Structure 1
Amino acid sequence: MSLTNTPDITVNGKTISAAMIDAEVQYHPAESRRQAMVKAAETLIIGELVTQKAMEKGIPLNPKSDAIEQNSQLIDSLLASEVCVPEATTEECERYYSANKGTFKTAPLIEASHILIASDPKDLEHRAESHALAVNLIHKLQGGESTLGELAKQFSSCPSKDVDGSLGQLSYGQTVREFERQVFAASEGLMPQPVETRYGYHVVLVARKVDGKPLSFDMVREKIKQYLNDKVHRKALSQYLHRLVSEADIQGFKFEFDDSMLMQ
């Protein structure tokens, strides 16, 4: 995707000025200003094409809506009038369930305690010292020199140190992802290596794990149907916008369409 040297873009004869692109850039963070400008131009072109098609079909515009909300409303109306988007059948949902049974479970639970050796991720020297201390504490626990509760009171930066480092019962979403990812994958007992997070290094003892229980098809039927319908809708939307772009007379911009446009 690239902008040419032409300062303005035309979409079926309608001008999208350089000033309009500059104003849109702020909503499209990117690694470089040029990439942000390309994203901004793509968004404005799609918005203009959708507006033009809606006017052609006699679909009324809502002057009270902002650009994003209006584009979404117009696209939904255009898809409804021009594209047949099928809904997932019970048979399709059952096939998806059978192929992905392992993902349909209740959330697992763990009971854990920890010692947080806090350190700023930007302070590499302090970070290394915290890691070394965490490793040393694990060795002490493995050797039976102290209990986790005793060491938590002495070394932990987490308020849980007042309750022997106990975090109680945890399920998904209650801790930061990097902690959750490692701890929920661990076996019961003292984790042999420190767990690194944005806050520092954690010495973790998993006291108990309760695996998630399988959910029946009836319990997840609507969730599966919604997922499959959304997937079909996204594909239909991508194809429809691609068609609008390919049929349009766009000057001043080379449009290489991909599904990232759906995120804009």
Structure 2
Amino acid sequence: MGPLLSDITVNGEVIPAATIAAEAQMHSAPKGKPGIAWRAAGRALAIRALLLQEARRRGLVAEPVTEADRAETEEEALVRQLLDEAVAPAAPGDDAVRAAYDADPAKFRAPTLYEAAHILFPVRPGDAAALEAAREKAEAVLADLARAPREFDRLARELSACPSRDAGGRLGQIATGDTVPEFEAVLDRLAEGEIAAEPITTRYGLHIIRLDARAEGAVLPFEAAAPRIGAMLAKAEWARAARAFVESLAEAAEVTGIDLKAA
């Protein structure tokens, strides 16, 4: 673990190893390979430092946005404002939208419906100690479920922090977009009746997830799918432009302790 415990510096700004270790708790990695999570955390923190430095160099003043379920921090606001200013890709044309649909119409479907259940172990974002404690509890429960999967209902009622515990963890019928992406990704890869082999991390904490049923949506006609495809292409183009912007900052920066070019 030697090299993984070193500090990172970004244009002279030091990111302590302890900060990286805490951030690493929020990144997944195969068991026995903590270096993957550490490097992901190091890159994330180094890129964040680069963006904040550039925002301040440009003289941006944080204007946090408050939404119903969360309030932006000043640093989050600075990053958002910088990207709004620096990243402005062209909107996708009609031909690009049509080509994306014709390439694979089956990708564009009505929302998938799921019936699922979960057991939630709540963790506040950034609380590494609580996350580790929750992971130990969740893995112990998964071991119990591996021996007796029918105990899911009882364990959900006893242990889950979600109101769905009163229904044995059952969430009722949910559709594409009703849950956070990490949760939905698990529902998409599970077989009906299967319990996910590992606890899943979201902004709410750790979840043990069971998929009870899934009904895939029908393929949409082009006219119905076009707005969604346009938004998808615009998002992808924005991501490419943002990545290029970050790469340009990294190229001009003095960074030690992590290789941003490999990211």
TM range (shorter): 0.5 to 0.7
Q: 1:232 aligns with which of 233, 237, 243?
A: 237
The amino acid of 1:89's aligned partner reads G
**TM-score w.r.t. length of structure 1:** 0.52
The offset of 1:54, in angstroms, is: 0.2
Equivalent residue letter for 1:85: P
Are positions 1:48 and 2:49 aligned together? Answer: yes
State the 1:6 CA deviation. 7.9
Q: How many residues align?
A: 178
Question: Structure 1 CA distance, aligned partners of 2:79 and 2:22?
Answer: 23
The answer to whether 1:217 aligns with 2:218 is no
Residue 235 to residue 67, structure 1, CA distance change in 2 (3 Å): farther
Provide the rounded CA distance (Å) in 1 between the counterparts of 2:248 and 2:19: 24
Instruction: Tell me how far apart the structure 2 counterparts of residues 91 and 61 of structure 1 sit (CA, whole Å).
Output: 38
For 1:82, the equivalent position in structure 2 comes to 86
Kept in 1: contact 2:65–2:77 (CA 8 A) = no
Give the alignment of 1:156-195 within 5 angstroms.
Answer: 178-179=190-191
Within a 5 Å distance, the mapping from 1:52-201 to structure 2 comes to: 52-61=53-62, 73-106=77-110, 122-123=146-147, 178-179=190-191, 197-198=194-195
CA contact (8 A) 1:11 1:45 kept: yes
8 Å Cα contact 2:10/2:49 also seen in 1? yes
Where 2:246 maps in the other structure, the secondary structure is helix
Q: Secondary structure at the match of 2:262?
A: coil
Q: Which runs of 5+ in 1 are unaligned?
A: 110-119, 128-170, 181-195, 200-209, 259-264
Kindly indicate whether the alpha-carbon contact (under 8 Å) linking 2:64 and 2:72 is maintained by their aligned counterparts in 1.
no
Amino acid at match of 2:242: L
Deviation at 1:176, TM superposition (A): 8.1
1:255 aligns with 260
TM normalised by structure 2 equals 0.52
Post-superposition shift, 1:253?
Answer: 2.9
Query: How far apart are residue 82 of structure 1 and its match?
Result: 2.5
Q: SS state of the match for residue 15, structure 1?
A: strand
Percent of matched pairs sharing the same residue: 26
Q: In the superposition, relative to structure 1, how do residues 246 and 67 fare at CA in structure 2: closer, same or farther (>3 Å)?
A: farther
Contact 2:250 2:261 in 1 (8 A): no
The one-letter amino acid paired with 2:11 is N
For residues 3 and 62 of structure 1, the distance between their equivalents in structure 2, rounded to whole angstroms, comes to: 40
Q: 1:211/1:11 Cα in 2 relative to 1: closer, same or farther (>3 Å)?
A: closer
> Would you say 1:19 and 2:18 are equivalent positions?
yes
Q: CA RMSD in A?
A: 4.3
Report the alpha carbon displacement of residue 10 of structure 1 after superposing the two structures with TM: 1.7
Shift of residue 69, structure 1, vs aligned partner: 5.9
Q: 1:27 to 1:103 in 2, by over 3 A?
A: closer
Deviation of 1:9 after TM superposition, in Å, equals 2.2
Whether the 8 Å CA contact 1:24–1:40 is kept in 2: the answer is yes
> How far 1:177 sits from its partner (Å)?
5.4
Q: How many angstroms apart in 2 are the aligned matches of 1:251 and 1:57? A: 24
Go from structure 1 to structure 2 and tell me whether the alpha carbon gap of 1:67 and 1:7 turns closer, same or farther (over 3 Å shift): farther
1:37–1:215 Cα change, 3 Å: closer
- For structure 2, the 5+ residue unaligned runs are 114-143, 150-174, 177-183, 197-214
Amino acid at match of 1:91: D
Change (3 A) 1:86 1:36: same
